[in-house]
Amino acid sequence: MSLEELNYQIYGCKKCRLWQGAKHGVPGEGPVDAEIMLVGQNPGVEEDEVGRPFVGRAGKYLTRVLAENGLKREDLFITNIVKHKTPKNRKPYADEIAACLPYLMEQINIIKPKKIVLMGVAARQTPRIKGIEYCEVIHPQAASRFPRMGKKFQEQVSMELKK
């Protein structure tokens, strides 16, 4: 399956309740041969508007911290553990993650990244695949709002991803 075919499935998906409150599915974006994949929690309102991941405040913050560490956002594949926004940006429920996880696993299967960065608690539920390096960092949304978490996030990105 290609990423485009998978995206098409996500746009039309009704496997959990989240599609009902969303304008767009947000499959993720980035090169099909990306070496690094970033996985967040769920799209927010701004992401839902345009169908792209991490375009709001947290996304701008993430893009800046990546750049400070020599990484171009467009070289990475960025997605979330669920592909539709959640009501009031709440954490996805376990049944929503379980329903959506096959899309993330197929993205990993297609892209075959060397490293996967799990951002935030929800993303840590991603099953680990042998041969891929995983690391866990604070979610950029929390990091962009709370200075102490921001400092920790910057240290984590620098340690795990700096070029």
Q: Would you count residue 100 as binding ligand SF4 (CB under 6 A)? A: yes
Tell the smallest beta-carbon distance from residue 62 to ligand SF4 (Å): 21
Name the segment binding ligand SF4 (CB under 6 A); options: 11-19, 70-78, 117-125, 136-144.
11-19
Tell the smallest beta-carbon distance from residue 71 to ligand SF4 (Å): 27
Q: Would you count residue 19 as binding ligand SF4 (CB under 6 A)? A: yes
Name the segment binding ligand SF4 (CB under 6 A); options: 96-104, 105-113, 138-146, 149-157.
96-104
Q: Of 63 and 141, which has the nearer Cβ to ligand SF4? A: 141
Give the distance, in angstroms, between the CA of residue 66 and the centroid of all CA atoms in the same chain. Answer: 14
Q: Which position among 3, 6, 7, 16 is part of the footprint of ligand SF4 (CB under 6 A)?
A: 16
DSSP3 helix / strand / coil % (the chain, rounded to 5): 50, 10, 40
Q: How far apart are CA 119 and CA 123, in angstroms?
A: 6
Q: Would you count residue 138 as binding ligand SF4 (CB under 6 A)? A: no
List, in order, residues 6 or more apart from 28 with CB less than 8 Å away.
53, 77, 78, 79, 80, 83, 107
Neighbour tally for 94: CB within 10 Å: 10
Q: Which position among 3, 6, 7, 18 is part of the footprint of ligand SF4 (CB under 6 A)?
A: 18
Q: Of 118 and 161, which has the nearer Cβ to ligand SF4? A: 118
Identify any residues that bridge with 133 across adjacent strands, giving them in sequence order: 115
Q: How far apart are CA 18 and CA 151, in angstroms?
A: 32
